[in-house]
Amino acid sequence: MKILVISLLRLGDAIMHLKLIDEIRRAHSNAQVDMLVNSEASHIKAISHNIDEVLTFPRKELQRSLANSNECFFNSYDRLKTWVSEINNRNYDMIYDFTNTVLSHNLYSLLATRLSKKDSLASYLNTVFSISKRTSFHYIDAVRNSHASTLKPQELATAELRTNKMISVQPLTSDKKKNWGIGYYQSLIKNLEIEFPDYKIAILGSPFEENVLRSHFSESKNVKIEVLDLVNLEFHLWESDLLITGDTAVAHLAAQCKTPMLAIYCGSADPYKTSPYLKNVYVVHSEEICAPCGHSTDCTQPRHMCSESIRQEDICFIVSYFLKYKIWPDKQFAFHSYLTDSSETKQFLLRDIHDEYASFKNKSRQIYWQQNEVSSIPKISNKFFFELQNTIENIDSALNIVAEFESELSNQLTADSSHSLMSKISEFERYVDDYDLVSLLKNSLKLHTKSDYFQSESDLDLLSKILKNKRMLYQYYCKQLRERGFVDVSGSRELS
Amino acid sequence: MRLVSYEGVLLCSQRDPLKEAERWCLDIPNFSHIIVLGLGAGYHVETLAAKYPQSHIHVFDHRKTLVDSFNSFSKISNVTVKVLDLDKIELDSFFCSENAYKYAKIFYPSVQSNYGQYHKLQKTILARDPLVFEHRAKQSGIDCLNWDKIKKFDEINIKAIYECKSDATQTDPARIIIILRELVK
């Protein structure tokens, strides 16, 4: 059997697709599996044993020909037609399209096969996934689910803890907006050099990034700029204790090498869609209301707020903590921090560390209250009780705002109602000091303006559920305190 | 002795005609037939012939004196220089052949006073003229275009072709056109 896999996105996507090619190989062990890629990914065979042949789509040649004012349109037309017939002459039995673009869809239709491999979720990929909408699927899971009849998920690999004293840093990405910022990386590397003098630090880059890297980073005894090809990069990543990177091809290659990672996702990088497909990766994401934005479009903000909100000191803390204790910190920061995981159904999962941290704190407090006598709770004061009651009142006010929000959104949005909703968000922020929940409210408005009624309603529904749960929890705390003799705020009695 | 100007028009750079020729040749791909519009002093033709010795280079110029002068001293085997009657440009058998459609570049310095006519000729050769395009497209089996709509365009490019594509067609030519349009979006 001859199988062709179409992977016509960037190098990082092609590297991610290798995971699925492994699954194809598992399903068809004796088949010839070829991969169709753009020329920039033509070396991918060197890092995969499961590809028999790599075919290159003449994207650049066609683009050059179409853009040349001295060339005839029929040159490109005939060239593509000839190329398609050459591929068809190879007589593939089965073609998987992992790309899901208008281009790949049409190419897929041009390539004649006896069996076509696309399931019902393929339309989901085309209509929902390819545009900037929130999705609960990781890109790999979404592609796999669209070929669910043949591809079965395997257990997600976990990052390996290593002690080779090597830190790798990939500061640049394919899109300027996805970069955290060279200045931040410079300070981070300087700090790491001082704090971990026994570690080697490799600054990674591709040949076309070398000049930028050399102009911004200086090499020293422990810091080296490494411009490597795919094979050597893979070797290097197998040796690294930690990779600090944005949403890059290197991150996806590191996922294949099970390298522990701190992934800093800014701009168009969407951690839900394209986080490294590996368990126990720490992903940092600044959730500005405009993020994640479209790839290769201009930033709509006056400043690069995505990267500015991720403080260099915090990243330095996370890296230091990991290198010292070999676990990720559960500290709360002013940005989103996630840990990658897998669900019971072997799907990729992004766990919000803040939520886990908060629930951990609440849980441990509950256990503490249940297991100890009143007299042994020394730190709970009337101030805390007052804060609890105040929090419950604030939650009630916030719930009212959510209800008002829902009723406003059920009508047609006008300039006045939009203004009123914006002021409700500010009011909500006064009552709820929780970045996630405010983002959820903001997001429901954002989705609604994009005419996605269903999504905006489900966001509001989720928001009120979370608030109601919080209220129940705080009411429970109050009840517990009352039962233990603390009755009244005005009484100013403190538990001894 | 080469002419560097003719009837008051500079035929090539006075300072460094060889460097100018090299720069002009830089973006020309390797085709089996290359059409050059404008002979000038001929430096660019010689450079191109040396760059692609396997290609056939067809040069056209409206000034007989220049053509005769070049032919008298040039012995390059892969170059053919012909006189072009600008007042009577016709689609002769050469311009209608498939080879002619591939690549045609104007050497601006030598044709500056007649640029409009040369540009029109280039448009015809490259099938950018709507009528020529229609003729050539039908030859290639492209049957998914609205021909009335395409005639309204001044010059045909991939954007215009895509706009004239019939929405309902799911034919191979239509798919190829969609792919090509996607590549330059």
Q: Does residue A240 surpass a pLDDT of 90?
A: yes
Q: Does residue A368 surpass a pLDDT of 60?
A: no
When pLDDT is cut at 50, 70 and 90, the band that residue A488 belongs to is very low
| Contact state of B183 with A103 under an 8 Å Cβ cutoff | yes
| Contact state of A74 with B122 under an 8 Å Cβ cutoff | no
| Contact state of A80 with B179 under an 8 Å Cβ cutoff | yes
- Cβ partners under 8 Å of residue A18, min gap 6: A44, A47, A48, A50, A51, A256
Q: Which amino acid is at A365?
A: R
| Contact state of B158 with A75 under an 8 Å Cβ cutoff | no
Q: Does residue A389 surpass a pLDDT of 50?
A: yes
- List CB contacts (< 8 A) between B127 and chain A: 72-74
| Contact state of A73 with B27 under an 8 Å Cβ cutoff | no
| Contact state of B136 with A74 under an 8 Å Cβ cutoff | yes
A353 versus A232: the higher-pLDDT residue is: A232
Cα–Cα distance between B35 and B99 in angstroms, integer? Answer: 9
- Cβ partners under 8 Å of residue A244, min gap 6: A167, A168, A169, A170, A185, A188, A261, A262, A264, A315, A319
The rounded radius of gyration (Å) of the Cα atoms in chain A is 26
Which of A64, A66, A78 faces B158 most closely, judged by CB atoms? Answer: A66
| Contact state of B103 with A75 under an 8 Å Cβ cutoff | yes
DSSP-derived letter for residue A161 is P
Residue listed under structure tokens 């996922």: A255
List the structure tokens of B18.
């060889």
| Contact state of A109 with B158 under an 8 Å Cβ cutoff | no
Read out DSSP for A78-121? HHHHHHHHHHHTT--SEEEE---SHHHHHHHHHS--SEEE--TH
Q: How many residues does chain A have?
A: 496
Beta strands in A220-289 (DSSP E): 223-227, 242-245, 261-265, 282-285
Tell whether B163 lies on the interface with A, counting CB pairs under 8 A.
Answer: no
List the structure tokens of A271.
């951690």
For residues A116-143, give the mean pLDDT.
Answer: 61
**Which of B105, B180, B181, B184 is the best substitution to test chain A (most A C-beta atoms within 10 A)?**
B180
Contact B172, A108 (CB under 8 A): no
Q: Does residue A129 surpass a pLDDT of 70?
A: no
Specify the range with the lowest mean pLDDT, choosing from A217-226, A275-284, A413-422, B129-138: A413-422
Share of chain A above pLDDT 70, in %: 82
pLDDT of residue A319: 95
List the structure tokens of A98.
């992992």
Q: Distance (Å) from the C-alpha of residue B28 to the closest C-alpha of chain A?
A: 9
- List CB contacts (< 8 A) between B125 and chain A: 72
- List CB contacts (< 8 A) between B133 and chain A: 73
Q: Is the bond leading into A292 cis (omega within 30 degrees of zero)?
A: yes
DSSP-derived letter for residue B114 is G
| Contact state of B176 with A84 under an 8 Å Cβ cutoff | yes
Q: From A108, which residue of chain B is nearest by alpha-carbon distance?
A: B175
pLDDT of residue A142: 80
**Which of B176, B184, B185 is the best substitution to test chain A (most A C-beta atoms within 10 A)?**
B176
Which of A67, A74, A106 faces B184 most closely, judged by CB atoms? Answer: A67
- List CB contacts (< 8 A) between B135 and chain A: none
- Cβ partners under 8 Å of residue B154, min gap 6: none
| Contact state of B175 with A110 under an 8 Å Cβ cutoff | yes
Closest CA to B43 of B22, B15, B59: B22
When pLDDT is cut at 50, 70 and 90, the band that residue A484 belongs to is low
Read out DSSP for B137-158? HHHTT---B-HHHHHT-SS--H
B65 versus A419: the higher-pLDDT residue is: B65
pLDDT of residue A358: 53
Closest CA to A348 of A247, A254, A276: A276
When pLDDT is cut at 50, 70 and 90, the band that residue A133 belongs to is very low
| Angle of the A73-88 helix axis to the B172-183 helix axis, nearest 10 | 120
A65 versus A453: the higher-pLDDT residue is: A65
Q: Output the tens digit of pLDDT for each of chain B's 185 residues.
A: 566 777 777 888 888 889 999 999 998 999 989 999 999 889 999 999 999 999 999 999 988 888 988 888 888 889 989 888 776 665 555 666 666 678 999 998 888 888 888 888 888 889 898 988 998 899 888 988 999 999 899 999 999 999 998 876 688 999 999 999 999 98
What is the model's pTM?
0.73
- List CB contacts (< 8 A) between B140 and chain A: 74, 77-78
Q: From A81, which residue of chain B is nearest by alpha-carbon distance?
A: B176
pLDDT of residue A371: 45
**Which of A106, A295, A297 is the best substitution to test chain B (most B C-beta atoms within 10 A)?**
A106
pLDDT of residue B57: 93
Mean pLDDT is highest, among A125-139, A416-430, A443-457, B130-144, for B130-144
Which of B27, B176, B184 faces A77 most closely, judged by CB atoms? Answer: B176
Element (H, E) at A4: strand A2-7
Q: Distance (Å) from the C-alpha of residue B100 to the closest C-alpha of chain A?
A: 9
Tell whether B170 lies on the interface with A, counting CB pairs under 8 A.
Answer: yes
| Contact state of A70 with B28 under an 8 Å Cβ cutoff | yes
Query: With the CA atoms of B21, B22, B26 and B30 taken in that order, what torsion angle do they form, in degrees rounded to the nearest 10?
Result: 80
List the structure tokens of A342.
């897998």
- List CB contacts (< 8 A) between A84 and chain B: 172, 176
Query: With the CA atoms of A455, A458, A460 and A461 taken in that order, what torsion angle do they form, in degrees rounded to the nearest 10?
Result: 180
C-alpha distance across the termini of chain A, in Å: 77
A374 versus A349: the higher-pLDDT residue is: A349
Q: Does residue A17 surpass a pLDDT of 50?
A: yes
DSSP-derived letter for residue A159 is P
Q: From B105, which residue of chain A is nearest by alpha-carbon distance?
A: A70
pLDDT of residue A155: 87
**Which of A38, A65, A73 is the best substitution to test chain B (most B C-beta atoms within 10 A)?**
A73
- List CB contacts (< 8 A) between B164 and chain A: none
Cα–Cα distance between A382 and A36 in angstroms, integer? Answer: 67
When pLDDT is cut at 50, 70 and 90, the band that residue A188 belongs to is very high
Specify the range with the lowest mean pLDDT, choosing from A48-57, A88-97, A462-471: A462-471
| Contact state of B103 with A84 under an 8 Å Cβ cutoff | no
**A377 phi and psi, to 5 degrees?**
-105, 95
Contact B64, B135 (CB under 8 A): no
Which of B27, B170, B183 faces A66 most closely, judged by CB atoms? Answer: B183
Which of A64, A68, A76 faces B180 most closely, judged by CB atoms? Answer: A76
pLDDT digit string, tens, across residues A266-306: 988 888 889 999 999 999 987 676 777 777 777 777 778 88
Q: Quick check: helix, strand or coil at residue A324? A: helix
When pLDDT is cut at 50, 70 and 90, the band that residue A118 belongs to is low
Closest CA to A98 of A117, A75, A71, A77: A117
For residues A386-402, give the mean pLDDT.
Answer: 80
pLDDT of residue A374: 36
pLDDT digit string, tens, across residues A446-480: 777 766 666 677 778 878 877 887 777 777 777 76
pLDDT of residue A181: 92
CA geometry: angle at A152 spanning A150 and A156, to 5°? 150
List the structure tokens of A16.
């991610």
Which of A64, A66, A70 faces B180 most closely, judged by CB atoms? Answer: A66
- Cβ partners under 8 Å of residue A229, min gap 6: A43, A46
pLDDT of residue B109: 83
Specify the range with the lowest mean pLDDT, choosing from A147-161, A162-176, A262-276: A147-161
| Contact state of B140 with A67 under an 8 Å Cβ cutoff | no
When pLDDT is cut at 50, 70 and 90, the band that residue A122 belongs to is low
Query: With the CA atoms of A41, A44, A50 and A52 taken in that order, what torsion angle do they form, in degrees rounded to the nearest 10?
Result: 80
Q: Over A385-417, what HEC string results?
A: HHHHHHHHHHHHHHHHHHHHHHHHHCCCCCHHH
For residues A106-125, give the mean pLDDT.
Answer: 66
Task: Tally C-beta pairs within 8 A across A and B.
Answer: 83
Q: How far is CA A310 from CA A299, A316, B129, in A?
A: 17, 11, 55
Q: What is the mean pLDDT of chain A?
A: 82
A135 versus B41: the higher-pLDDT residue is: B41
Q: From B104, which residue of chain A is nearest by alpha-carbon distance?
A: A70
| Contact state of B102 with A76 under an 8 Å Cβ cutoff | no
Residue listed under structure tokens 């197998």: A238
Tell whether B26 lies on the interface with A, counting CB pairs under 8 A.
Answer: no
When pLDDT is cut at 50, 70 and 90, the band that residue A27 belongs to is confident
Q: From A112, which residue of chain B is nearest by alpha-carbon distance?
A: B172
Beta strands in A343-482 (DSSP E): 348-352
Q: Does residue A135 surpass a pLDDT of 90?
A: no
